[in-house]
Amino acid sequence: MMHAHLIETITERLGRPAESCRALGGGCVGDVYRVRMKDGGDLVVKYDSCASPALDVEGYMLRYLAEHSALPVPRVLHSSPDLLAMECVDGESRFDAAAQRHAAELLAALHSVRAPRFGLDRATLIGGLPQPNPWADSWVAFFRGQRLLHMADMALEERAMPAALHRRIRGFAERLGDFIGEPEHPSLLHGDVWTTNVLARNGRIAAFIDPAVYYGHPEIELAFITLFNTFGTPFFDAYRALRPIAPGFFEQRRDIYNLYPLLVHTRLFGASYLSGVEQTLGLLGF
């Protein structure tokens, strides 16, 4: 999309004149731009020209977090399938100890927001991939069917995973309840906390972006954080002071929960992520 056409589209959709724009990096869905408005200030705009755009889902998720929690997220100014306009939050994905402690406070508070069941009112997205959220009374059943098996089945269908590995995952899924349990209550989750989805400034978290929202077990959120070392000891020490982390999480359960993002990454970026899946299954005896 030519920048002139994007500026025209933003002006029309927001009812405010846009002046200029420049491309930004990142984002699994669409193209990302920083847009200068003629009446002052910058916006971040995502534009998706694919045949079936779904940026309105991201807009829904950001608004859901803003309405149901105190988690700092960019304010959504316009949300439609092909165009998402948000306030521009300046920050960087580098976290000193103070920022990590602040992140722990924010996520502990988020995980205190509860629902009567696991799931959400609608399907969402993770990295642009459909994420089903039908309401469920059991976390084990929800994680088995809507996270682990859903993503593995799609990877097999797309030929991103060999059938033999898929059989191993299904064998493990049948015994999932032997390895994970039910939380005290379903917790609201950001759903995709990794380094570039968090912005910090001056030792504080400025915003969480690109969510994959639903109600689930807080341990899956914490597991994501460990997968790519988004936060370290300062975060976990501060989080543990606010919410307990049950024994066995770091030793085994985090690896079980990280099967899900590894399968997501397999579908998005290729088979190199399957080695982590195979290693975890092997350690579990599958």
| pLDDT tens string 225-251 | 999 999 999 999 999 999 999 999 999
User: Looking at the predicted structure, is the pLDDT value of residue 2 above 70?
Assistant: no
Centre a 10 Å sphere on the Cβ of residue 95 and count the other Cβ atoms it contains. 22
Instruction: CATH number for 3-87: choose from 1.10.760.10, 1.20.1090.10, 3.10.180.10, 3.30.200.20.
Output: 3.30.200.20
Q: What is the pLDDT of residue 27?
A: 60
Residue of 42, 192, 210, 255 marked active site:
192
User: Looking at the predicted structure, is the pLDDT value of residue 87 above 80?
Assistant: yes
Q: What is the pLDDT of residue 26?
A: 63
Query: How much of the chain exceeds pLDDT 90, in percent?
Result: 91
| 29-75 confidence digits (pLDDT tens) | 778 999 999 988 899 999 998 888 999 999 999 999 999 999 999 99
Can you give the residue ranges of every domain in the chain? 3-87, 97-283
Query: How much of the chain exceeds pLDDT 70, in percent?
Result: 98
User: Looking at the predicted structure, is the pLDDT value of residue 1 above 70?
Assistant: no
Q: What is the pLDDT of residue 50?
A: 86
Task: Please name which of 256, 267, 261, 268 lies closest in space to residue 161, comparing C-alpha atoms.
Answer: 267
CA dist., res. 19 & res. 16, Å (int) = 10
Looking at the whole model, is its pTM more than 0.75? yes
| 116-149 confidence digits (pLDDT tens) | 999 999 999 999 999 999 999 999 999 999 999 9
Average pLDDT taken over every residue of the chain = 95
User: Looking at the predicted structure, is the pLDDT value of residue 95 above 70?
Assistant: yes
The predicted model gives 179-193 an average pLDDT of 97
The predicted model gives 254-266 an average pLDDT of 98
Is 192 one of the catalytic residues?
yes
**Superfamily of segment(s) 97-283:** Aminoglycoside phosphotransferase (APH), C-terminal lobe (3.90.1200.10)
Rg over CA atoms, the chain? 19
